[in-house]
Amino acid sequence: MTEVFRSGFVALVGRPNTGKSTLANALVGRKVSIVSDKPQTTRHRVTAVVDGDGYQLVLLDIPGFQKPRDTITRRMQELVRSTITEVDAVLFLLPGDQSFGRGDTFIAEALRGQPTPVVTVVNKVDLLAPEAAARQQEKAATLLGDDQVLLASALTGEGLAEVERRLAALVPEGPRYFPEGAVTDQPEEVLVAEFIREQVLAVTEEEVPHAIAVEVLEMEPREDRDLIYVRAAIYVERDSQRPIVLGPGGERLKHIGIGARREIEWLLGSQVFLDLVVKVRKHWRADPRMLDRLGL
């Protein structure tokens, strides 16, 4: 008897900050999607490939579901809607550490009105006592009319094997979409830009994280040495934001560079010289040409 190979696309859905990107990285075992405690960290669709025994899951980490406010959030929400209708399954993440709100109800309703099967997970249970986790699980079950809600922690890995098992059982018989060992379809330049943005997000507050975009301008191996030269621009929206990213005497930018370089060297398997500049691009989030250029 020949073994059946199962495969499918799985959209990660949930309001911002529920841990979708953390969960994608945990299942893949590599950082393919950047994480921060700021909402709107994930801006495009990140593919995360999970290989298992007899199956392959292609996770699509998409921006969090929210009401469109401007050009960039409108584009992000169109992406969310179109993704849900294309996939084989949806993984719906709910926060373990917060009560469910309008955002969660809004998503639950959107999911109920469509045919794609849904696996619901209450994430961040590491922050909860067992009784509180069970209560949250019950509330989640009510929200979706689903009595098989799973508890998990993307941070500690608790419950993730069961999440993966459920998804693997749900996807249809199908081909291996990505070669074994491929973890994402994002080009290296995009990952490099994202790793830099992750570091900027970690050290900035309030409106600044939203105002940041990163573009890799040059990525070239140096012939004389075992070194890759990377030049990248960190864009901000206003003149006043530039010194915030630079920090006093350029200290903050230096820290951003050190943190990002570590991740980039790991990704590229080479030493890296990272050359960062901070540029002002007024209203880039409302500029379709700039969004196209940034792949957003």
Residues forming contacts to ligand GDP in the complex (CB under 6 A) are: 14, 16-22, 35-37, 41-42, 64, 123-124, 126-127, 153-155
Show the site string, 39-58: x = touches Mg ion by CB under 5 A, - = not: --xx----------------
Q: Which residues contact 7 (CB under 8 A, 6 or more apart)?
A: 55, 56, 57, 58, 171, 172, 173, 174, 175, 176, 177
Residue (35 or 170) nearer to ligand GDP, CB: 35
Cβ atoms of residues 112 and 13 within 8 Å: no
Q: Which does 120 bind (CB under 5 to 8 A by kind): Mg ion, ligand GDP, none?
A: none
Q: Return the one option of ligand GDP, Mg ion, none that residue 19 interacts with (CB less than 5 to 8 A, by type).
A: ligand GDP
Which of 7, 17, 21, 120 is the binder for Mg ion (CB under 5 A)?
Answer: 21
Among ligand GDP, Mg ion, none, the one that 56 touches (CB under a kind-dependent 5 to 8 A) is none
Q: Residue 268 corresponds to which amino acid? A: L
Please say whether the beta carbons of 256 and 39 come within 8 A: no
Cα Rg for the chain, rounded, in angstroms?
Answer: 20
CB neighbour class for 69 (10 Å; exposed up to 12, middle 13-18, buried from 19):
exposed
The interface region with Mg ion, picked from 35-43, 144-152, 255-263, 267-275 by CB under 5 A, is 35-43
Answer whether 116's CB lies under 8 Å from 87's CB.
Answer: yes
In whole angstroms, the minimum distance from the beta carbon of 21 to Mg ion comes to 3
| # binding residues, Mg ion (CB under 5 A) | 4
